[in-house]
Structure 1
Amino acid sequence: MNDIKWRRPHPPVIMEDIKDFENLVGFKFPEDYVNCALLYHGASVIPYRVEVKGSEKVFANLLSFSQVSVDSIIKIYDNCKERLKNGIIPFGIDPSGNFFCFDYRRDMEKPSIIFLNNEINVIASDYSVDELKRINLEEVQENAIEFVCNSFTELLSMLH
């Protein structure tokens, strides 16, 4: 995090707010993320580009723990939870409304980081009964997910 500049962070959040959200979603955030979010939640970051499988993504900002923020982690989780696979928790956003998320599906203690493309992220109710018979919904849903890296610290080190 040495070369990173955090711009316009929201007023510091208290640990209790982070714990409340963790209790809501049922997952404990990694310590490196918590330490960053305590100071910089809601902030944009420079540099902001991340290379993912030969494609450049933009890490616009960390989601905020402020309930009045447009990018409130609480509001976003509430609005998107039916479209989130169990174990996927958003923490950052790009300019197009796609999310950088923690992925707890393989490891409850050390979640990996994924990029969730909301433009192609689907659920069963997006399809008719006939369409559901012709597709593999699980496979279609996985196509909206791209592995980024193994940790929040690693994500920050990838910013360029």
Structure 2
Amino acid sequence: MGVNKWINGEELHDETLIKLVENNFGVKFPEDYKRCIQLYNGGYPEPNCFDMNDGEQGVLINLLSFTNDNLNITMFYDFEEETSIAGLVPIARDPFGNLLCFDYRLKVQSPEIIFYDHEEIGEDAIIPVCSTFTELLNGLYSAE
């Protein structure tokens, strides 16, 4: 299990973009996530399936990009206002419009990963996935 390769990712040479996004969200990203973004910005992993704590399976189609206008993480600066949930920062998406997010509500220094179901409202939209970004990547598997 875990990522075998990244497709369509690009290296992010300008670390100031990460700092700018952190400042706009008012958070500090975990180091493992920042390292991954620097190497595979906007990319999608193979394999790409993950399990959620409720037993459901999810699919990580790509990391949100810090440079590509169509998949840019900056499109989610108003995510808190849209969802009425403070402390969630989207970092990746699935093929159905749902998001994987860092959950800074309880652990500011080490946010957990949650799945945000865009068809639900409030806490019902949040499904815990895992404790760290590295744990998410290590837990990816193929559906086949």
For residues 96 and 13 of structure 1, do their structure 2 counterparts lie closer, same or farther at Cα, with a shift above 3 Å needed?
farther
Q: Aligned-pair distance for 1:86?
A: 1.1
Cα separation, 2, equivalents of 1:108 and 1:43: 26
Off by >2 Å, runs of 4+ in structure 1: 1-4, 10-13, 78-81
CA contact (8 A) 1:89 1:101 kept: yes
Cα displacement (A) at 1:4: 2.6
Alignment of 1:48-67 (within 5 A): 48-52=48-52, 53-66=54-67
Residue number in structure 2 paired with 1:19: 19
> Aligned runs of 1:137-156 on 2, under 5 Å?
141-156=122-137
CA contact (8 A) 1:100 1:114 kept: yes
Aligned to 1:10: 10
Whether contact under 8 Å (1:13, 1:37) holds in the other structure is: no
1:102 and 1:111 in contact (8 A); partners too: yes
* SS across alignment from 1:105: coil
Q: How many Å separate the matches in 1 of 2:3 and 2:89?
A: 26
What TM-score, normalized by structure 1, do the two folds share? 0.81
Shift in Å, 1:3 = 4.1
Separation in structure 2 between the aligned mates of residue 107 and residue 27 of structure 1, nearest angstrom = 11
Which residue of structure 1 aligns with residue 30 of structure 2? 30
Identical residues among aligned pairs (%): 40
Q: TM-score, normalising length from structure 2?
A: 0.90
Unaligned runs of 5+ in 1: 122-140
Distance 2:51 2:80 in 1: 27
Task: Tell me by how many angstroms 1:81 deviates.
Answer: 3.4
Q: Which residue identity lines up with residue 142 of structure 1 in the other structure?
A: E
1:81 aligns to 2:80 (yes or no): yes
- For 2:97 and 2:114, locate their aligned partners in 1 and report how far apart those are by CA, in whole Å: 14
Partner of 1:42: 42
Q: Which has the larger radius of gyration?
A: 1
The offset of 1:16, in angstroms, is 0.4
Count of residue pairs the alignment pairs up: 139
Give the superposed CA RMSD: 1.6
Alpha-carbon distance in 1 for matches of 2:118, 2:38 = 27
**1-10 or 109-118: which moved more?**
1-10
